[in-house]
Amino acid sequence: MHPSVRANAIDTGFIERELKNLTASSAAPGDLELCAAVAAIVSEEQKAARAEAHSPWRTFGWMPVGRRTRVFSFRQGQGAEQKVELSYGNGPPTLKFGDREREFLLSPLPYPGGGFDLTLDGVKSYIFAVLEGHELYLRTRNGRFDLHWVDPFGGDTEEQVGEDKIVAPLPGTVVALLAEEGATLEKGAAILTLEVMKMEQTLRAPYAGVLKKIKCKVGDIVGEGVELAEVEPAVA
């Protein structure tokens, strides 16, 4: 038993502080854990969008036409990447794991401290999740899982980390602005969402700093390599 539990010296922040130490990390994430990882990321992006000016583009699930697709990749330790395809828009959101497609629902009112209810194929589960940059710490009924979110446009590579300019990796359309000029950003913070070949990718801060300038607006069609925003590094 944890010493704090034995001494009856716990509070509402105990689980979040001690999440890494409460249980050993489980062997491999299953559909529930990968779904929880996607839900945690989407939930954080929703909160960031709600903090900005009201716009239908900032509402998850609102689509001008049909459904859209977004691909997430996760890695546990040094293991292989596991890809999950999120489809949303008309009808309930679904997640595709290889050739398996499953319907899911994220509770609109998360519990304080990182918990939320997640319904996967009609079965509700309580999830505890902490997202720190690209690192995800999950607690499900199957145990504890530490996952790395492999964001292709989020500064995972050394080449991206050194850049202060956020550029379009491919031709696409700006569908959401998730931060304002002058905002202080943590490394990995969402800046804007770009639709590329009917798939959405969120461009993120490569390091902690200030969003110096946004050089696009929602609806802009941009070419590959076009500068979309500029981040000024935090002063050490």
- Compute the distance between CA of residue 77 and CA of residue 42 in angstroms, rounded to an integer: 22
State the total domains in the chain: 2
For residues 19 and 75, state if they share a domain.
Answer: yes
Binned at pLDDT 50, 70 and 90, residue 47 comes out as: confident
- R_g over Cα of the chain: 18
**Domain end point (choices 149, 169, 201):** 149
Q: What percent of the chain has pLDDT over 90?
A: 29
Least confident among 97-101, 139-143, 158-162 = 158-162
- pLDDT score recorded for residue 221: 92
Q: Which domain holds residue 107?
A: 3-149
Mean pLDDT value across residues 16-24: 56
For residues 178 and 223, state if they share a domain.
Answer: yes
CATH number for the domain spanning 183: value is 2.40.50.100
Q: What is the mean pLDDT of the chain?
A: 78
Residue 61 has pLDDT above 60, yes or no: no
Selected residue with higher pLDDT from 14 and 71:
71
Sheet strand arrangement including 165-167: 165-167, 227-233, 209-214, 184-185
Least confident among 65-79, 83-97, 214-228 = 65-79
User: Each residue of 147-157: pLDDT tens digit?
Assistant: 998 865 554 44
Q: Pick from 155, 32, 4, 158: which is nearest to 104 by CA?
A: 32
CATH number for the domain spanning 100: value is 3.30.700
User: Each residue of 166-193: pLDDT tens digit?
Assistant: 888 888 899 999 999 999 988 888 899 8
- Compute the distance between CA of residue 58 and CA of residue 49 in angstroms, rounded to an integer: 6
Residue 7 has pLDDT above 80, yes or no: no
For residues 125 and 203, state if they share a domain.
Answer: no
User: Each residue of 185-225: pLDDT tens digit?
Assistant: 888 888 998 887 667 788 888 888 999 999 999 999 998 88
User: What residue type is assigned to position 208 of the chain?
Assistant: A
- Compute the distance between CA of residue 183 and CA of residue 111 in angstroms, rounded to an integer: 27
